[in-house]
Structure formats: C-alpha cells, structure tokens
Chains A and B, each alone.
Chain A
C-alpha cells in the first residue's frame, strides 16, 4: 500500500535547481551569450521630489547616447496607456480613489514616481541616458506622515478634501452605549510605523513580441500572472488570448509583488513591441524602496468597556491608515485591520471606523500579515491593559473572552475583505492557549524572573493571540494530466515564491491519484498552462489551489477507473490504484495509468512501447463512436475550487525578552508559537513558513521603519540603513507546537499558513518589554534609544 503523503515532512523537489544555481528568476530569462536576440535593458527616471508639478521634460540629450534605442515620457503614451492606472479593487467607501499614470503626467506625488522610461543596450547605458534627461519642476509642499495628512493644511491631491481617500464604519450593536454602561473603561492610543516586504529579488519584467506566432510573451516576478496578463492586454489594446504571462521562480514576494500592473509591467511590453526586440527591466534596490510599495503605518485609538472578569462589553476602535500617494489596491489593508483585530474574542458591541489618508509617500499594498499586525497590536495591548487594570493574569483575561469551541461556525456580523461574512469556520482557542502556556512555561516564569533579578537581569514575558482569515476566494483551478509514460503533469495558475508548492501539491496528487510522488510534476504561474487563476497572496495557495488540485486529481482518478474497469472487465468498486498501476483487488489483473492514458485517446499510433502495450486491451464498444458523447480524449481532469468564504487559521505566540539596564538593548531569550492551520500538508514546510514569518515580525517589532523626512525623502533607502534581521537578531530556537482543527470548507480540511508567523510578533514583544520594564509600550517598532527615552519619561 502506498504511504499517505499528506501530513508527511516530504523533502522539496524544487531544491535541486536552486542549490545548483539553476533557478530561473526573471532576470535570468534571456540572459547570457546563448540567449538569442539581444535583449535591451530599461531604466526609469524617477522623481527626486515628493510633490511637484512637472513644467517641462527635455529628452533631447538622450538619443545621442550611443546604445540608446528609445525614450518615453507621458506624451509618448496613447490609448489606454495614457489613462491613469486602474483602481484594482474599488470599494464604495473609497470615495476619492486616485492612481498614477504609467509615466507621470503634469504632477508627481512621491519620490520615486516614474517620469521617463529609457531603453538601451545595457542597463549601464540606460542609466547614463536617464541622467541626461532634464526636468523642470515646480516643487510643492509635501504631506508626510499621518499627523500632517490629518491636519490637512496641505493637500496631496488638490481635489481630495482633507486628504481623506476613504472612510468606512462597521458596527455590531451600540458600542459607545455599552462602553458607557460598563463597570470599567479604558482608552488607548497605539501606533505602528511603516515597513516593507523587501524580498531579496526586486521586481522584474521581460517581454518579447513573437512575430511568428503574433503573440506577446511576458515574464514577470509577480504574485499574479493572470492579473498581469489581463492588465497588459487591457492597457496595450491586445486580445487577452494573444498575451502569455509566465512567472518563473520568484525570489520572495511577501505581498509587494501583488500589484498589477506596475508601470514597468506595461512599459516593457510596449517597448518590446515598438522596438521589435526583447526588453528587460530589473529593479535595483533603491528603486524598490522608493517605487514599489510599503505597509503597516497606522495610528489607532481604542475605547473599551469590560466587567470585573475582564469580559469585553463594548469595543470602539478608530484608526487612521496611511495609504501613501495613490490607492491602486483599494482598502484591503484597513478593512482587514478593522475586522481581524477581533482575533479569537467576542467583542460585545463593536464599532470600528477608519480613515484612509493620502500622503506624499510610496503607495501601500498588503505586506505579509496585511493589516493584521496592526490590528493584533491594538487588540492584544488592550487585553494586556485590561489585565493590568484588574490585576489579573493576562492569559485569564484572554480566556474569558474566547469564542468557545462549540460556537463554530461563529459569525461576527461584519463584512470581511472579500466582501463576504466574517464567519470563523473552526478552531479551539482554549486548547491553543493551554499548549502555549506549557510551551513557554508561563507558570514557571515568575521563578525565572526572580532568578534573573538576583543576577541583576531584567526579563519580561508577553503573549498575543490572533485569528487569520486565509484562503480567500474567488477561486483557483487545476489541470491534471497523465502522460502515456505514466508521468503526471499538474498545472495550477497561481504563482509560487518560496512556499514549496511543487512539493506540497505533488503530495496531494500522489495521494489522491495513487501515483508515486516522483512521477508528479507541478507547474505554477504560466497562463499558457492554466489561464484561469487569481494569485498567491492572503495565505490562499494551499487552500485554494491545493483544493482545486485535489478535485482535479479526483476527476482524473474517476476517469482512469472507468477506463480500467472497461479494459479489465471489472467493476470500478473492485479497483485500486497503487504506484500508478490500477489493479483489481485480490487478483493479478492490472493496467498502468500510462496505458490507460493511451486507451483514453483513440486516435492512436504505436508511437512507443506504452502504445503497443495498450493494443492488447479492447477499446470500447464498436457500435459507439470512439469518443463517446459527453466524453473527451485524454486521461486528464480539470476542476476549480471556489469557497463560500475564507477559512480562519489561528495561533498564539509568547516570548521572553531581556532588556539591558544600561544600554536598553532588547534581546529575545525564548520564542514560542502554537499554530493551527487545520490539517497539515507538509509540517516541514509549515514550520519553515512560521520561522520566516516570526523573523519578519521581529524585524517589524524592533528594527524596520521607513525614515521619511518632512520633505518626503526616504532617508534609509538601502539595506545599509533599513535594518532587517540577520541570524544574529533571531533567537536560536523558535519553539512550535501545532493544533489541527480541520476546516469544514474544503476537501482537505486545510487553512492557510503563509502569513501567520508575522501577525502577533509586535504585540508579543511589546507585551514582554512592557512586562520587563513596568510601563506600557504603545508604539512599535521600538529601538534601544526609544526604550531609553521611555525609561526617562516613566522613571523620574
């Protein structure tokens, strides 16, 4: 019997090419001496000002540069390319949505906004040419930071009053009244700074116009090939059927590669078609800082009413979201904060209102966790404040507010980011908390603290809980094809950027189809292989494509069994598939899947041994057409998965930190995670996702901030200055325990796991520092100098 692979820590099949330098990232496409027609390289002139009117652009010095092929400004754009880029996810509350042009027209609204696009024989020459473009600007005052945006003394867009792009309110019950009537009340102001995804591979696009087939082929380092395809077709005025988008290996995404279309994703194919040469754009690191996307910047005001046990009676949250200069991705991030901050708790009456505000800074799109780290920080700091006020243990106050295991499915009465009900499918929060208390030794901490104090060391412990809506729709699809060799080719349209999809999806197919794992090959993100797809974000790949692949494999299996029953003259119920061979249970009669693949396609020649072998089996009824009505040739199956709403993963983290009494250095001594993403496909992969998420969370908690000055210049736009954790900043062990509460929403019982690790980290670290120092921490990230300043404030 074949061993079931679901739940096993199967080693990754993708590793070989990565370990031997054979990965194919976008910049590797059409690279090197054997790459065919010489590729041209693009560079972009970007605004040096955060806010300015463009009075004149003089490109006359550019085309004289030897090796330069073209220069484009807004005046060279036509048709849909000359219109503003789309607002991808419109929302009724987004009353003042604004987007940039592919190349700036008249005005720039952040440092880094694209103004001109140069194509030359290599990137060095293209940059030389960019430096020769002369732009005459009228510099305007910049709006930087939420305080300036809210003050609205200056406007980012003249026609957006108060800099308010959107205002959205949701209510369940009458929160202000419930708070007013509650035995106890607290108010908190909490802030999180801007950070950014910073994948090690920046953005990149390569395009080639193929005259022989009259098609555009485009490679992009994106999280959504199909989105790029549709956007490019729309903007360049091409039939979508003439555009192929291929996403090869992607060197990390974390959200930032979701936006489509980036200006460069449109300009590169436009130039490739016009110049009849392949064109490549590979972003450099400074460009990534100033022209891709950031997230996290939010200030939040919370009012809460509760009883003597700490039970929430009313929760009223108001927050201000900094969405930067434009709103191409709509209101996803603040909507997620506003709904997901509730975590595993019942809020009593709830009111949440946010304003999404324009600033003259880089745009905001979802970064791993997407609004949840801010929301979790708000809710968990509130829980800690209630515990402190009542003098109760922090775990007790949380436990009293948990949604109970018997209350699922639990409908919060709110609308989630996907426009669907915020309804939790399953979970067991008390069990999760039990595991966490054991994992971090919550009860033994007091003794540890005493022992540390005797050595003059200051330590603190903190915890935080979260629930994460994962696997949002609308759908994903899959195609499973058994070749005549018995090899199984699987295609799904969403992309992959390190989440081990080739391995995890092959595990699902091997289990369902009864084939060897090694015989399954998975292709992702290639619109030629699966043109219907959404993308890899929102911890949705395993849930969405995993389920679609499972369903497509089941269809393929059903067809194989039907064909085998004919060929073996047996009943389908008596058949089993083991290691790619269909056999009649209890007999030696069998037929390989490869042979069934031959039989499934009656237009046959004896191409090979498999075809020859197939001729020994009878082929259907000679009275019927070779391909029966309603049937199709080929041993393959296509299916789609489209859920009613998201699945809700959950988890709880705890940490012990030590703060240096002199230097205020913050060191994480221990970090513990309890994680529930339903049934695990591959625990090794899930733990890897958690490790990475926690590391990014530690970066967000202690180091990462976007240091804009008042004029809108980003002062730390390099890896030298924007600090991300090396191994030296990450604790030596991140202890993980799993809980598996299967989701009833999909056939595999799984929930997403990609973002979980990052969500509660700022809340956990803030709680632990607060516990160590004895005063509240209300803003993250926190540096040693921030902590030093707080000590001065709190200790007279």
Chain B
C-alpha cells in the first residue's frame, strides 16, 4: 500500500556559462540544486531557499534571477551565467570581482557570488551609479559579515574600473 514509484524525470538542456549540459531531472528540481549538485557548479550558494537572501542569484539572459525560485526544467530557454562564468575566458576577474577584492567587500564569501552577479548586471544598466544608486543596486542581497560598507565601495570602484576599461561607453 505504501508503494511509491520513482518520479518522472525530464530530459533537459541547460546552457550555463556558454556550455550546453544535458540532464535528466525531476520537474521539481530547483535550478540552484541542478547547478550545484548535478553540474557541480557550486559557486551558486543557497542561503534561504525562498528568494530573500540573494546568495543564489544567477544571470538569466543577463538579468539577475534567484536560482532557488526557478525550476531547472523552466530554465532551459535561457542563457544562464553563474559566478563561475563572470571571469574572462583567460580566467581574468571582471571589474566587479577585482573591486570586491580591492575594497575588502567580502569576508566569509558565502553571499559573494550573489552580490557579484547582481552588481555585474546592475552596472550594465547603470554604469555610473550615484552613492544612492549603488546602495539601491545591492539592496536585495543579504550579507551577514561585512556590514555593507565595503560592498558599496566595491560597487563604486567597479564602476570606475569599468569606465577606465571602456572609455567609449
């Protein structure tokens, strides 16, 4: 009477950091779990599982999205970028990654991937944020270590580094 059948698995293709992966996952598999446990891309962290802390933020077609609120089967139509995909092809950190190191914008590092993806997308939208805009940009992500002072500085520094890189922008 207690017999339970193995749940149906779906064949899906995920595009992550420019690589196509083929997976068989149940419909309820969260994107965050698929990235971490099926693909081994453990840079995406899970802090709350209900979309509040922002640690699992990834980019879907360049827009920041909570990977814990998206099912893997629903992510197939999108180009996903995780923290592992932020650096250049030669492993060179992007401006946001460099700014976080320069400004001591991280301590335990657990929330950091979510901040990096969020700020990377934020600076694309607003390359020269004011102080208030820099604070607003990260206002959906929780950090329990840094008190945010240095993260705000890192956003401003990243904008500087990016504008120095691409003066035409």
Contact = CB atoms under 8 A, between A and B. Distances in A.
B113 interface: yes
Given A15-B106, A21-B82, A60-B2, A285 B47 contact: yes
Contacts of A18: 106, 109, 112
Nearest to B111: A200
B104 A684 contact: yes
A727 B110 contact: no
B144 A64 contact: no
A200 B113 CA distance: 12
A724 interface: yes
Contacts of A1: none
Contacts of A35: 40
A35 B6 CA distance: 23
A205 B39 CA distance: 21
A500 interface: yes
A31 B145 contact: no
Question: What interface size band does chain A fall in?
Answer: 35 or more
A61 B40 contact: no
Contact of A21 (B43, B106, B151): B43
Contact of B144 (A31, A32, A724): A724
A17 B44 CA distance: 13
B84 A695 contact: no
B161 to A, nearest CB: 14
Given A23-B43, A730-B148, A719 B112 contact: no
A423 interface: no
Interface in A121-136: 122-124, 128, 132
B145 A498 contact: yes
B42 A692 contact: no
A688 B6 contact: no
A65 B53 CA distance: 33
A692 B145 contact: yes
Interface in A1-34: 11-12, 14-25, 27-28, 31-34
Contacts of B61: none
Name which of B4, B53, B87, B140 has the most chain A CB atoms within 10 A of its CB. B4
Interface of B is mostly: loop
Nearest to B146: A692
A251 B108 contact: yes
Contacts of A23: 42-43, 109-110
B14 to A, nearest CB: 13
B94 to A, nearest CB: 9
B124 interface: no
A221 B37 CA distance: 18
A695 B147 CA distance: 5
Name which of A23, A60, A128, A694 has the most chain B CB atoms within 10 A of its CB: A23
B126 interface: no
Interface in A692-743: 692-696, 718-720, 724, 726-728, 730, 732-734
B4 A66 contact: yes
A719 B83 CA distance: 23
A567 B46 CA distance: 55
B152 interface: yes
A254 interface: yes
Interface in B1-41: 2-6, 26, 28-29, 33, 36-41
A727 B45 contact: no
A66 B5 contact: yes
B16 to A, nearest CB: 12
What 4 A-B pairs are tightest by C-beta distance, nearest first? A32-B40, A21-B43, A251-B110, A498-B108
Interface of A: 11-12, 14-25, 27-28, 31-35, 60-61, 64-67, 122-124, 128, 132, 198-201, 249-252, 254, 284-285, 497-500, 684-685, 687-696, 718-720, 724, 726-728, 730, 732-734, 757
16 contacts: A19-B106, A21-B83, A64-B3, A66-B6, A200-B108, A200-B143, A249-B109, A251-B45, A251-B108, A251-B110, A252-B108, A252-B145, A498-B109, A720-B50, A726-B142, A732-B131
